[in-house]
Chains A and B, each alone.
Chain A
Amino acid sequence: MRRADIALACAALALALALPQLAGPFWMGLVTQMLIFGLLALSVDLLLGQTGLFSLCHASFFAVAAYTVAILQVRYAVPTALAAPAGLLAGTLLALVFGIAVRTRGVYFILTTIALGYIVWGVAHRWSSFTGGDNGVTNVPFPALGALRIDSHTEYYYFVLAVMIACALGYRVLIDSPFGLGLRGIKASETRMRSLGYRTNLHLYAAFVLSGLLASLAGVLYVYYNRFVNPVSASFPISVEATLMAIVGGSGTIVGPFIGAAVILGLRNWVSSFFELYATVMGVVFIATVLWAPEGIVGLLIRLRLRIASARREAS
């Protein structure tokens, strides 16, 4: 990291810590949501940015984790200490199963993950005796660990922030590890990695499961924030939006998905306050991103920085 980056990170952290003093409850809710969906976008980008696999079923892990927590807490009064790990476990188990998709590549992988994602949506939607159907599961309590309990949105914001920072650091360790290098090698040229003796399918499968675990974590955080869950959280548009967040922010980076989540959710809130055709605006964002900003905001900033640096070099 360069000194400027460290300064920027410290400033961002200070701002994040001071935010509850500066902003009202509405904004705190929105920022919490940005962090949670940023994590979901990061989980999508673990595949997209590091391995080049474009998965469109991450809403499944997110939703299965959320449903597990909600059903255990609300219907069986299971404490958070058990319900939250159970949610993570359920989402990760699903990723272990859906991981078979890594046998396919390219378009087939995309289409297969879409279809797999619909299984979860279909079950959430149709198995109403267990999942509550379209009404979902409501009245999820705030998380509590024995005597330690969270009972305000501000406290929950700090909790989510801490989890997010831990995840971002863990993610960085992961992608700097030999395993992470192997993944980027596969992204660059799978045939070469295979001829070097890497078991590429196994690498991709491991990445898929890890990515599912991260998406499940986002799901657990989401259900405690949102206090209810319904089939919308498992739906295809959520998977697509998470991908869009990663790309708008900058795929292959750690801050990118969070920036993307902030931009997309901010835009949604702002636009839907005065304009009915919100989905149209989102559609246009999709199209514009693909056509004009495929490297995302971080990519544009890096390019800008390079240009300034080279202009400076020429001047001196």
Chain B
Amino acid sequence: MNPKFRLGALLLAVSTLLAPTARAADDVVTVGACQPITGRFAFAGVAINAGLQDYLTYANEKGLVPGKKFNYVYEDSGYDTERAVACFKKIMAQHSPVIMYGESTGLGKAIAPELTSRYKVLYASASFSSELADPKTHPYSFISGPTYSDMFSVLLEYIARNKGAARPRVAFFYSDTEFGKDPIAYARKRAAELGIDVVGEIVTKVGAVDVTSEVLQLKKTQPDFVIFQGYVLAPITEVVRAAKDFGLKTRFMGTFWSMDTTMIDKLGQDADGYMGVNPYAYYYEEGAPGIAAMRAFNQKAHPEVKYRPNSYIQGWFTGMVYVEAVKRVVAAGKPITGENLAATLDGIKDWDTGGLSGKVTFTNHKAGIGRVYKANAQKGIFEPASDWIYVK
């Protein structure tokens, strides 16, 4: 046998192994997901997957869409775009879902042409990239919450509302990645509109640990606020600590991924004063029926779980949007297709999420909403510092 034939034979063997399974029945709504359960995004992927899966189970238990059951199929895509695209195609071929979930901005971009021309399924992902929130280029995709630009807008608005006599001085501190640079151009514009001076921009690699020169730069420019983007923990913790050592009065702020309580665990007492934006409420918050229902579900289904991170709530919230879209399509008496599901997004206005988020309105396939939270080092939690702020 020669190499070409061997390749073909191997592929055929694989194809028989992975032959498509039976099609789902009419009363079943299949949701597929390529989740970054391994790889460098696993810290969030595992929780997102659990959140999405749990919400769909919850919806089935409660019968949220009468006559329909949600079937959740997921695979690990390892936070690797090629593997994720393969996973996407495999799930589409085997289960023909009408809704898909994807692991990253990279997958969203790579699958976009075929999502629009062939697959036509409702698609959301772990990404908050503003690039994907464009119904013209990504008609089937939505962001399950605000984009990074919206998050910056929320923070800047908070700064503008709480300013003193002088014009607030802000610095942006971001990583040299797509994730880091995504909202910066918009943020500069928005700051100017709100009368905020951007006094510095610091760009670093992800996870850079020696931050002395960056902190010295902050000392020189003396911003009132520094907003981090494009990091999870490192080097935010190092910068916050070093700034304290240098005696800076600067307040530090983060966006979604830097707002989990692990940040407070890492910072310890230095966490006091750290702030940021979160589009969702925290797992421990009281007075939100949506969060209480989530906790009740977890107590029953996973009694060993005491806390759920923000990414779990992100997965849960995405599940809520999926179910809401299906509910609206069913109510309108239309068939459940990607087109119909995507069309309902624009109709979601002032949608009550039971306090899990504010009143959600989808514009341009994203919900521009967020709340500023402030760390309480004593209690080890984030506490609301503002009401829900809506981005126009």
A and B held together in a complex: no
Question: Which residues of B line the A interface, CB within 8 A?
Answer: none
